[in-house]
Amino acid sequence: MDMTQNALLMKISEAEFVCVELNLYLNTHPDDEDAQADYYSYSVKLRNLIERYEEAYGPLKNFGHSPTMTGEWARSRWPWEV
């Protein structure tokens, strides 16, 4: 795994963390418009990061969660082949 791939995974992880935390906060503060705007912003950012990752490295998740499931992952090099 190259540094660019690791850096992108770290950004995805950070955006997922923020989304989860904002979601939990919004459960108890549903009228907080700033938090809702932040949640929407980070959701879009997360979606874009995942799309960027999948275009470069293949599906991030399986079982219908990734819109780019083409089967390319099966023809790519497996981790133990690197």
pLDDT digits (tens, 9 = 90+) for 14-55: 999 999 999 999 999 999 999 999 999 999 999 999 999 988
- Which residue range forms the structural domain that includes residue 29? 3-81
Task: Give the CA distances from residue 64 to residues 3, 37, 69, in Å, rounded to whole numbers and listed in that order.
Answer: 27, 28, 8
How confident is the prediction for the chain on average, in pLDDT? 84
The pTM of this model reads 0.72
Whether residue 57 contacts residue 9, with contact meaning beta carbons closer than 8 Å, is answered with: no
Residue 11 has pLDDT above 80, yes or no: yes
3-state secondary structure of 64: coil
Given a cut of 90, is residue 3 above it in pLDDT?
A: no
Task: Work out how many domains the chain is built from and give that number.
Answer: 1
Collapse the DSSP code of 81 into the 3-class scheme (helix H, G, I; strand E, B; otherwise coil) and give the result.
Answer: helix
